[in-house]
Chains A and B, each alone.
Chain A
Amino acid sequence: MSIRLRLDKPWQLLTAEAAARLPGQLGVYQIADAKGAILYIGQAGARSPFGLRSELLREAKERGAGCQFRVEVNMQYRSRWFELLMVHQADHGALPPDNAKNPPPVLGRLSPA
């Protein structure tokens, strides 16, 4: 059984058209700059009207051109979101810049193998 800690799918260009094709499901996502440096790790929770599609459409509108994204449909969006944040912190020594502006109230520490 392999357990994937990191979200390592290929990046896609963040556009309204690409976001509109996403499923309306719960899950997590990452936003990166043009070079693939992660800017933000987000979640599409149960309050998102159309899940990942709503969140990524909003991100595309707010960020404009030049960003990339990748998503993971996941019913356990909340614990997976915490996990991705902790793994990023372990790998890079800090949260992604846009998460650091408004970090979750309590975030644990992971030391992934």
Chain B
Amino acid sequence: MDFEPSSEQQMLIDQVRRFVREEIIPLEAKLDPDSSELPPDDFKRLTDKTKAMGLFGIDIPREFGGPDIDIVTRVLLAIEMAQHRAGLYVPCYGTFGGAGLAQIFEANEDQKERYLYPTLRGEKKAFFGLTEPSGGSDPARAIQTRAERKDNGWVLNGSKIFISNADRAQYGIVFARTDASKGRAGITCFIVDSDTPGFHVRRVVHTLRSSHYATELEFKDCWVSDHQVLGEVNKGFAVANDRLTRQRIPYAAGCIGVAIAAHEMAIEWAKMRTTFGEKLANRQAVQWMLVDNEIDIRTARHFTLEAAEKARRGLPFRTEAAIAKLTASEGGGRVVDRAMQIHGGMGMTKDLPLERWYREMRIRRVGEGPSEVQRMVIAREILGSNLR
């Protein structure tokens, strides 16, 4: 496969690269190093710019008003959009729009009017409520939040953890067990308004990603009507699985973007910094670190574009997405680590973005399916799914 960008793709890449370097990075210099938000005036000004560029709502399909961007191009742009301090978890501070994992394109018409369209217009925010204290790697078995039939609806009881944006969202999609006897075929996805009685955001969960925090939720006799079921009863796992598989490709792209930015910083520093009368760039130990960075980045880029290309062509891409997520999150972490080593003491400080990338990149090996689960997915493909 040829992954050289077409002239049209290159034009978009250049456009986004300029936006990051001329608009985002200068603003970031004035913010706290752990910030994840722009001041409202700047956010509006830059969102108006992405709209004028025709790139607002970048993940939204064309039939819902999004720009007509295929997933390969989306990956190339995601690599660019991540190349700033907050870029791993908040690429361009959200100025390209979108609703992430909570885009509910399978909603019925009534749900689309109430939730999807306002979200796509940027009027509502949503969260994705899957992971529970009992575990996130194997949601089909770990989900203990129950939904029981009552009064033409469902009563939810249970808790969720590591849920981003739940404290700021107007609604979320929440996965609950509706049939305890059926495993993954007993899970239903519900749309839950955040002002529903019995829905509580209990606390902030403090992690290495101290800027863009997650929360813990509790559902206590939280009643939702039948109209709030997304898709069909007992078929919610497919909704979660679809999100998680598709998300792995842009997730990998973000890691590559940050790795490229860290690598470029390390190259510049190695060319400039002198120790014991010699530039770091002339030391074989440093050269080899830079070579390993280059290999990690190229490997991750190749596998991520391969996964995207398969998805674009409508071919199965589950294994390729797992390989992409694995190589990009693990390789990206190694690149940032080496870049810090090359920078020495300065690499550890909050003066540079490396320490934030180091902390956040560590989470990437766990978030959206840990490395071990990606390896399980790949192993099943190698060994044959009948081994399960």
- Interface bits A83-110 vs B (CB < 8 Å: 1, else 0): 1001000000000000000001111111
B202 near A45: Cβ-Cβ < 8 Å? no
Give CA–CA (A86, B207) in the complex, Å: 18
- Assess A79 versus B206: contact at CB under 8 Å? Given A45-B33, A46-B33, A108-B167: yes
A110 near B202: Cβ-Cβ < 8 Å? yes
Q: How many residues of B contact A (CB 8 A)?
A: 27
Give the secondary structure class of B's interface: loop
Selecting from A17-25, A54-62, A70-78, the interface stretch reads: A70-78
Q: How large is the interface on A (under 10, 10 to 19, 20 to 34, 35 or more residues)?
A: 20 to 34
A47 near B32: Cβ-Cβ < 8 Å? yes
Indicate whether B213 reaches chain A with its CB closer than 8 angstroms: yes
B201 near A108: Cβ-Cβ < 8 Å? yes
A3, A47, A110 interface centre (most CB from chain B within 10 Å): A110
- Assess A78 versus B167: contact at CB under 8 Å? Given A110-B204, A112-B203: no
Give CA–CA (A108, B201) in the complex, Å: 9
Indicate whether A29 reaches chain B with its CB closer than 8 angstroms: no
B201 near A76: Cβ-Cβ < 8 Å? no
Give CA–CA (A78, B211) in the complex, Å: 6
B residues apposed to A, CB below 8 Å: 32-35, 37-40, 43, 165-168, 194, 200-204, 206-207, 210-211, 213, 215, 218, 350
- For the complex of A and B, 10 pairs with smallest distance between CB atoms: A108-B167, A76-B210, A46-B350, A79-B213, A83-B204, A108-B168, A78-B34, A111-B200, A45-B32, A76-B206
A residues apposed to B, CB below 8 Å: 3, 5, 45-47, 75-80, 82-83, 86, 104-113
- Taking A46-B350, A78-B210, A105-B40 as known contacts, 17 extra A-B pairs with beta carbons closer than 8 A to each other, sorted by chain A number, are A45-B32, A75-B210, A76-B210, A77-B210, A78-B32, A78-B35, A79-B206, A79-B210, A83-B206, A83-B213, A104-B37, A107-B168, A109-B167, A110-B167, A110-B201, A112-B202, A113-B202
